[in-house]
Amino acid sequence: MAKKYLFSYIYGIFLIVFTIYILLDTFLIKSAYTKVNQTSYATANLEKGEITSTANLYEDNNIKIELEEYRKNDTTIYVADVQLSSSTLLKTAFANNTYGKNITAKTSAIAKDVNAILAINGDYYGVQESGYVLKNGVVYRSLASKNQEDLVIYKDGSFEIINETDTSINTLVDKGAYNILSFGPSLVENGNISVGTKDEVDRAKASNPRTAIGIIDDLHYVFVVSDGRTNSSEGLTLFELAEFMQNLGAKTAYNLDGGGSSTMYFNGKLVNNPTTNGNKVSERSVSDIVYIGY
């Protein structure tokens, strides 16, 4: 009797083992592709001068960051208004200085590693197998993702929204691209909201914690993070986020990884209340950050 089902037993066990391997490979097994030398990041070589640093303000000769808290749509939103003297102060960084799969660290840990004054979580490139990865002038992945909207940050500090289907990463680098964020969608373009009221990231349907970046004027940016999934903060839809960015004066604004990843770090401290399920405030480990620093 047992011999009749021998194949089924063996195949069943194989399927279980294979599935466990697939899940481990997807979520846990680390693959380091490139170690990044911190000193290879463009350094500003700028004189800081006198520094003013409080819980809500950082100011020196080259950087002025003002932190403000808003309350909209039953959600607490944190806005860092950033003004720079040089675009070299706007950078990105990898977790553990390594480009790879399942290489992650908390936003605050990555920020401390690179001496960031202000940092937000990035595009979490590590969960995708395609999509442009360009960090601080170095191309790490050139495989385009179909119809993927990216934010290109050029060497002069300007922003542009592009579609990976329409242009290659090498063309963008030749045009002066210095960083590319590949998450999306774009929220504001040329001062106009570019998401619909029913748009969401992939198949998400709920209000969520959000992270976004926008540009108001030359070298004048806003880094925005909202709380969500808690009794005190419901979270924002993409449209609400876009409206908020537009009201801040952003000419171009872009949505970054949200949900449990949404984190803002300023002057050595966590600013928002990151949470994955709303029960506990804890940072999620992410694969990269966007930051302001020397």
Partner 1 sequence: MFSHGVISNYMIFAFTIPLTLGVLVSFLMYALKMKQVTRVQISLYNASVATLTLWSIINGVLEIYGTTNWKVNLYLGLYVLLFLGSLIVGAIDRDNRT
Torsional class of 229: left (φ above 0), alpha (ψ -120 to 50), beta (otherwise): left
Should residue 17 be labelled a site residue for partner 1 when binding is judged by CB under 8 A? Answer: no
Which residues face 177 on adjacent strands?
154
Give the one residue of 32, 206, 218, 247 binding partner 1; rule: CB under 8 A. 206
* Interacting residues of 85 by C-beta distance below 8 A, sequence separation 6+: 46, 61, 62, 63, 219
Q: How many C-beta atoms lie closer than 10 Å to residue 268's C-beta? A: 11
Should residue 5 be labelled a site residue for partner 1 when binding is judged by CB under 8 A? Answer: yes
* DSSP classification of residue 267: T
Question: ∠ at Cα 257 (192, 115), nearest 5°?
Answer: 105
Sole residue written with tokens 């520094």 = 51
Give the one residue of 15, 32, 55, 57 binding partner 1; rule: CB under 8 A. 15
Should residue 12 be labelled a site residue for partner 1 when binding is judged by CB under 8 A? Answer: yes
Q: How many residues bind partner 1 (CB under 8 A)?
A: 28
CA distance 64 to 51: 10
Should residue 71 be labelled a site residue for partner 1 when binding is judged by CB under 8 A? Answer: no
Should residue 231 be labelled a site residue for partner 1 when binding is judged by CB under 8 A? Answer: no
CB nearer to partner 1: pick between 57 and 206: 206
Tokens encoding 288: 């990269």
Give the one residue of 11, 48, 175, 196 binding partner 1; rule: CB under 8 A. 11
Which residues face 154 on adjacent strands?
177
Give the distance, in angstroms, between the CA of residue 150 and the centroid of all CA atoms in the same chain: 12
Q: Which of residues 112-141 bind partner 1 (CB under 8 A)?
A: 127-130
Should residue 26 be labelled a site residue for partner 1 when binding is judged by CB under 8 A? Answer: yes
Give the one residue of 198, 202, 231, 269 binding partner 1; rule: CB under 8 A. 202
Should residue 69 be labelled a site residue for partner 1 when binding is judged by CB under 8 A? Answer: no
Should residue 34 be labelled a site residue for partner 1 when binding is judged by CB under 8 A? Answer: no
What are the residues binding partner 1 (CB under 8 A)? 4-5, 7-8, 11-12, 15, 18-19, 22-23, 25-27, 127-130, 201-206, 208, 229, 259, 277
